[in-house]
């Protein structure tokens, strides 16, 4: 390849021309060693061949500069003088109508955000540029950050909007095959399990290539040092509005509704935005429209907008942002962030929870964090408080309870009797008994967690110990379902209503039978729990015990004289079901208890007839010893007739 530098350039600015020639040589050396041809390159090449000006846009680390340089070298092969432009006036100065020239502009109008002084430098020569590219002898190839290109101030640079190649678009973004090829070129190895979602994949490959100490698989799984450096630069360069826009995404837990910026908002929300601005070194009175504009500029780099809601382009980016700002503006987040962020993203001490993006709060902020939880609780956000990840750590619960006990007695009572202000889920008739439930009182939540000390605290505040959840679960039921036996015993001693049923008309005794908790069954029966009651499907305790294979409980009930002839909602007794489904073990139990072998169902079918229909030979043999095989059903058919 012959690198062409125009005679005009060498004559007018020989030093500049020589410098460009040296730069192009470096580009070519790098290009020969480390370049992967991609569909984006082919698209840009086609566009510059057919158009007078092409602007390449992307986010950081995607490869716009590498693509720009490669295209410049290819155009040099086609006979173009390549002229690297650092100032707008250089295009007019070095333009030669008799020479094919390619003017190359990288980082057009700024790197991180639009540079107003650059805009002012380019605007006066827009007409000149249009005339230059109309002649078809000269072309302009520019590269520009997407957030700069999307700034409304950029609209005045019409030449650079005439043909745009967005390297993040579906038609141009790196394919998996291209990423694999790039990985193998830079790291000299086949890619292992890596995350392909990051737009800055080329930059990650380059960084790994340049730093042999990096563990490539780990780095590609967690490349956030790259993003950290990018956001740090925003702050260091004084681009506080962009920095604040990202922080607001964290404060509002990745759900920034457009209405927050263009509609009237309540004073509390306004204060949250102002506090975040202040934490990011912006004036408290910064216009919300300015912040929205910055979010728009960050679209496709960090941010996307769906259904009028701003959020990060993927969950990994939000994980990183939440952790990053948790280190930078922790106090602001504790005081102002959405409760969803508060309950999921911060720990007050080390625990078994393994997540690199959960921030550990320093000791000096512990009390502030607990006060924030108490404040949310007082506002009716009970579920958000007790679903906090810290509440599953015994040491934290002890600290939390100790703090509760320092509060005014009347305030403690108010908290204990505060209910969730959320509405119960509505279910269709099919989903009426969904396992999903909402525990709307502090006592219910404490029973779910299984903390006896917190349960005692709730009870000491005069709460209703039998108040149920939306699905009719009482505190004792919740404790039982979670396997907190000691807690259940404690509530029983406090005379909690053990016969209370949920919406399925199941009592705690029924649940114990279903799950085979023999000790609990004995304890409840000793307290004279109602063992004759059936659930909504007319299933008795005996049916439940049999259904779940709890033979010891079956014996316990039979010894108590339970009625095994009782029928379910389909009119079938245990003996009938045993014959119908061929359960000879179950039938033998009832035969020993003296079951009526001549019992009939609603169609006057005898037990023997039912067994014959199911071809249950063993049961037929058991019944033939005592059953009347000549008995006829409502269709006047006997067992002998059915067999024939």
pLDDT at residue number 424: 46
pLDDT at residue number 431: 30
Is the model more confident about 626 or about 91? 91
pLDDT at residue number 167: 93
pLDDT at residue number 166: 95
pLDDT-derived band at 641, boundaries 50, 70, 90: low
Domain boundaries, the chain: 7-166, 176-222, 227-394, 564-644
Output the 3-class SS for 237-291.
CCCHHHHHHHHHHHHCCCCEECHHHHCCCCHHHHHHHHHHHHHCCCCCCCCHHHH
CATH of 7-166, one of 3.30.1540.20, 3.40.50.300, 3.10.180.10, 3.40.1190.20: 3.40.50.300
Is the model more confident about 251 or about 604? 251
Query: Given a cut of 60, is residue 136 above it in pLDDT?
Result: yes
Q: Kindly report the backbone phi and psi dihedral angles of residue 442, in degrees, each rounded to the nearest multiple of 5, phi listed first.
A: -55, -40
Lowest mean pLDDT segment, chosen from 59-73, 185-199, 235-249, 574-588: 574-588
Q: pLDDT by residue (tens digit) across 222-261?
A: 788 888 888 999 999 999 999 999 999 999 999 999 999 9
pLDDT-derived band at 640, boundaries 50, 70, 90: low
Give the predicted TM-score (pTM) of the model: 0.67
pLDDT at residue number 139: 93
CA distance 474 to 497: 9
Segment of 100-109, 142-151, 181-190, 492-501 carrying the highest mean pLDDT: 100-109
pLDDT at residue number 4: 44
Q: Residue 413 in 3-state DSSP? A: helix
pLDDT-derived band at 434, boundaries 50, 70, 90: very low
Q: pLDDT by residue (tens digit) across 88-128?
A: 888 988 888 888 999 999 989 887 667 667 887 898 888 88
pLDDT at residue number 227: 82
Is the model more confident about 224 or about 555? 224
| Average pLDDT score over residue span 589-594 | 68
CATH superfamily, domain 564-644, is Ankyrin repeat-containing domain (1.25.40.20)
Please name the residues in contact with 8: beta carbons below 8 A apart, sequence gap of 6 or more. 94, 96, 99
Range 493-497 contact pairs with CB under 8 angstroms and sequence separation of 24 or more: 494/459, 494/465, 496/465, 496/466, 497/466
Residue with token string 């716009």: 64
Lowest mean pLDDT segment, chosen from 267-281, 288-302, 521-535: 521-535
Give which of 587, 594, 601 is closest to 633, Cα–Cα. Answer: 601
pLDDT-derived band at 370, boundaries 50, 70, 90: very high
Query: Given a cut of 70, is residue 574 above it in pLDDT?
Result: no
pLDDT at residue number 435: 46
Query: Given a cut of 70, is residue 279 above it in pLDDT?
Result: yes
Query: Given a cut of 70, is residue 604 above it in pLDDT?
Result: no
pLDDT at residue number 538: 61
Cα-only R_g, the chain: 37
| Average pLDDT score over residue span 165-178 | 92
Beta bridge partners of 56: 143, 165
Q: pLDDT by residue (tens digit) across 284-296?
A: 989 999 999 999 9
Is the model more confident about 314 or about 265? 265
Q: pLDDT by residue (tens digit) across 346-366?
A: 999 766 655 677 889 999 999
Query: Given a cut of 80, is residue 304 above it in pLDDT?
Result: yes
Is the model more confident about 220 or about 626? 220
Is the model more confident about 571 or about 27? 27
Query: Given a cut of 70, is residue 569 above it in pLDDT?
Result: no
Query: Given a cut of 70, is residue 10 above it in pLDDT?
Result: no
């Amino acid at each position: 390849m012959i690198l062409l530098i125009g005679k005009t350039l060498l004559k007018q600015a020989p030093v500049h021309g020589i410098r460009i020639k040296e730069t192009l040589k470096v580009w070519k050396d790098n290009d020969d060693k480390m370049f992967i041809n991609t569909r984006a390159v082919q698209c840009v090449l086609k566009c510059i061949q057919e158009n007078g000006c092409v602007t390449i846009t992307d986010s950081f680390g995607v490869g716009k500069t590498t693509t720009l340089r490669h295209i410049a070298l290819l155009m040099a092969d086609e006979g173009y003088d390549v002229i690297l432009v650092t100032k707008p006036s250089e295009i007019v100065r070095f333009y030669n109508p008799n020479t094919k020239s390619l003017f190359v502009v990288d980082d057009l109008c700024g790197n991180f955000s639009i540079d107003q002084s650059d805009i002012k430098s380019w605007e006066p020569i827009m007409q000149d540029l249009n005339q230059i590219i109309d002649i078809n002898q000269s072309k302009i190839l520019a590269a520009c950050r997407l957030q700069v290109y999307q700034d409304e101030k950029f609209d005045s640079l019409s030449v650079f909007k005439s043909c745009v190649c967005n390297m993040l678009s579906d038609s141009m973004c790196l394919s998996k095959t291209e990423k694999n090829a790039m990985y193998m070129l830079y790291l000299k190895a086949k890619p292992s399990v890596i995350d392909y979602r990051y737009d800055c994949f080329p930059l990650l490959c380059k960084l790994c290539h340049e730093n042999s100490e990096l563990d490539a698989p780990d780095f590609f799984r967690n490349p956030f040092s790259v993003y950290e450096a990018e956001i740090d630069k925003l702050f260091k360069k004084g681009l506080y509005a962009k920095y604040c826009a990202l922080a607001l995404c964290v404060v509002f837990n990745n759900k920034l509704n457009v209405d927050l910026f263009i509609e009237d908002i309540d004073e509390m929300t306004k204060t949250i935005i102002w506090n975040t601005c202040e934490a990011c070194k912006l004036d408290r009175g910064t216009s919300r429209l300015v912040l929205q504009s910055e979010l728009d500029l960050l679209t496709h780099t960090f941010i996307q907008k769906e259904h009028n809601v701003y959020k990060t382009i993927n969950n990994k980016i939000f994980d990183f942002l939440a952790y990053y700002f948790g280190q930078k503006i922790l106090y602001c987040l504790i005081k102002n962030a959405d409760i969803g962020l508060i309950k999921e993203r911060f720990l007050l001490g080390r625990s078994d929870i393994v997540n690199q993006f959960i921030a550990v709060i320093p000791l000096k902020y512990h009390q502030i964090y607990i006060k924030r939880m108490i404040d949310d609780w007082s506002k009716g956000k009970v579920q958000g408080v007790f679903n906090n990840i810290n509440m599953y750590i015994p040491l934290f619960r002890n600290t939390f309870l100790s703090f509760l006990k320092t509060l005014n007695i009347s305030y403690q009572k108010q908290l204990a009797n505060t209910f969730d202000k959320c509405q119960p889920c509505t279910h269709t008739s099919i989903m009426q008994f969904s396992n999903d439930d909402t525990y709307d009182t502090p006592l219910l939540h404490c029973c779910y967690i299984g903390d006896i000390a917190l349960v005692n605290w709730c009870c000491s505040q005069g709460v209703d110990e039998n108040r149920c959840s939306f699905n009719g679960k009482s505190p004792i039921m919740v404790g039982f379902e979670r396997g907190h036996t000691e807690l259940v015993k404690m509530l029983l001693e406090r005379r909690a209503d053990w016969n209370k049923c949920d919406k399925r008309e199941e009592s705690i005794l029924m649940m114990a039978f279903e799950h085979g908790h023999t000790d609990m069954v004995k304890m409840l029966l000793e307290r004279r729990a109602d063992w004759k009651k059936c659930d909504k499907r007319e299933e008795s305790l005996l049916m439940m015990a049999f259904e779940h294979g709890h033979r010891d409980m079956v014996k316990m009930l039979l010894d108590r004289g339970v009625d095994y002839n009782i029928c379910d909602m389909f009119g079938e007794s245990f003996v009938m079901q045993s014959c119908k489904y061929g359960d000879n073990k179950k039938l033998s139990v009832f035969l020993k208890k003296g079951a009526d072998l001549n019992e009939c169902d609603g169609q006057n079918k005898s037990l023997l007839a039912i067994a014959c229909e199911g071809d249950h030979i063993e049961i037929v043999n058991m019944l033939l010893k005592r059953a009347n095989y000549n008995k006829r059903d409502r269709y006047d058919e006997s067992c002998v007739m059915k067999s024939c």
